Structure 1
Amino acid sequence: MNQERRAQWLRGVLDLCVLALLSRGESYGYELSQALRAHGLGTVQGGTLYPVLLRLQRSGLLTAHWREGETGPARKYYRISPAGSAALRAAAIDWSAFAASVGAILSEEPKR
């Protein structure tokens, strides 16, 4: 896949993907980055991910707390808030409708 195109698409849905991952349980930045990669979204650098996490936290969609590491430094764990869960539900409905519309356009036969 074209990396520039992937990056452009990812900017539009990264908030939604992060909220969805955190709806499954709390996590920290590196773990989220690995989960995004495992789901086929490629490598999401910290310089991209951490501003998203901070913005979502400041808007009340996430909460965060520091936890001492068992074998390393403390990590900042993020958890979806009730407002984040509501936002995720609404955005998931919007995304499904949007993706279906794009899919319909892309699958139409070209006029000759």
Structure 2
Amino acid sequence: MDTTQLLKGVLDVAVLAVVREEDGYGYDIVRRLRAAGIAEIGDASVYGTLRRLYAAGALSTYVVPSEGGPNRKYYAIKAEGIAMFEAQRETWNEFAAVFSTLINHQPAPAAATSSNGSHS
């Protein structure tokens, strides 16, 4: 199954979960998402999500000088981001439970039918 479309719907909560654990700069957040098992995540998708969450007031930023290159912009979760994460986590857990029940449901064996196709 191509998980690209599924990932689009949950990338915000995934990014918030990673930043909630520890502040990070863009590529660090991408690396941590991949280490968590989201291997097919694109850098551009994460950077776009970080910008969107920042604009929504869920994240703050600060700059840390880098020894071997340009300064790094770190993202930190704000109270609004924690509230957003909690709401999205609850929604995800409810959705996952319903969907898991639906796709893992084992139908009852079909009732025996008579030769004319009707049930006895």
Counterpart check, 1:20 vs 2:17: yes
What is residue 69 of structure 1 aligned with on the other side? 66
Name the one with the larger helix percent: 1
> 1:28 touches 1:76 (CA, 8 Å); kept in 2?
yes
1:43-82 counterparts in 2 under 5 A?
43-82=40-79
Cα distance in 1 for partners of 2:40, 2:70 equals 23
Contact 1:33 1:43 in 2 (8 A): no
Which of the pair has the greater relative contact order for Cα pairs under 8 Å at 6+ separation? 1
Larger radius of gyration, structure 1 or 2?
A: 2
State the TM-score, normalized to the length of structure 2: 0.84
Match for residue 93 of structure 1 among 90, 93, 101: 90
Alpha-carbon distance between aligned partners in 2 of 1:68 and 1:43, rounded to the nearest angstrom: 30
Question: Could you tell me how far apart the structure 2 residues matched to 1:91 and 1:56 are?
Answer: 13
**TM score, norm. by length of structure 1:** 0.90
Q: Aligned equivalents of 2:43 and 2:57: distance in 1?
A: 21
Instruction: Return 5+ residue gaps in structure 2 as ranges.
Output: 111-120
Q: Secondary structure at the match of 2:103?
A: helix
Q: Post-superposition, which runs of at least 4 consecutive aligned residues in structure 1 deviate over 2 A?
A: 43-46
CA contact (8 A) 1:36 1:43 kept: no
- Aligned residues with identical type, % of pairs: 35
